[in-house]
Amino acid sequence: MARLLPLPPAEGLGLPVEIGGVRLTAPDPGPLTLVAPFRGQDSAVAAALRCALGFDLPGPVETRTGAGARAIWFGWRQGLVMGAALAPGVLDGIAAVTDQSDGWAAFRLDGSGTDRVLARLTPLDLRPHAFPPGRTARTLIGHMAASVTRWAPDSCDILVFRSMAGTAVHDLTTAMARVAARTATRG
């Protein structure tokens, strides 16, 4: 009988890789749970999450951290809780809760050229005053739907659909190489 083994989304994609001082890795974000409060239940969901995780759902472009977990805004009245599984029943009757763990590939870009790499792939304004640490956005990376979150000045996390992991690595490493080549010709 065949034995199936779970593989991370970036398995076999040659990560980690560093080009021109920018490093691309595929960290394990842990469990990913989409939370969407039912109509009129925002306050109840906020209270339940504060009790369970120490934070409530983030508003548009916001993030939350605490209790070994974090959450990012993931769309209108939706948050993605990362790194901690919600206990069964915590949000019963007050929110739609969907396990998204197998649906997304997570990547991290680190280094002083992170913004220049991402600027080649996304229409986001990545300048520090417009996209500071703690900011998140749903956007495009190349032609892929994505989420980009800045947790530190020179570090961004990127989520793309799992089926697009290979394309994301290709596009990101190509942009990294082009930024490095351009920097080298200027230096």
Q: What is the pLDDT of residues 88-106, one digit of tens each?
A: 999 999 999 999 999 999 9
Q: Where are the alpha helices (DSSP H) in the chain?
A: 42-53, 114-119, 165-186
CATH number for the segment(s) 17-29+102-186: 3.30.1360.120
Q: b/e per residue, 127-147, with b = 16+ CB within 10 A?
A: eeeebeebbbbbbebbebebb
> Given this model, what pLDDT does residue 67 score?
76
Domains 17-29+102-186 and 32-99 fall in the same CATH topology: no
Q: What average pLDDT does range 111-139 have in this prediction? A: 96
CATH number for the segment(s) 32-99: 3.30.70
CB-based burial label for 51 (10 Å; 0-12, 13-18, 19+): exposed
Q: How far lies 8's CA from each of 26, 104, 105, 174, 178, in Å?
A: 9, 10, 8, 22, 27
> Given this model, what pLDDT does residue 187 score?
63
Q: What average pLDDT does range 47-65 have in this prediction? A: 95
The distance from CA 102 to its chain's CA centroid, rounded to whole angstroms, is: 14
* Strand pairing class (32-37; 95-99): antiparallel
Q: What average pLDDT does range 151-162 have in this prediction? A: 97
- Domain residue ranges of the chain, discontinuous segments joined by +: 17-29+102-186, 32-99
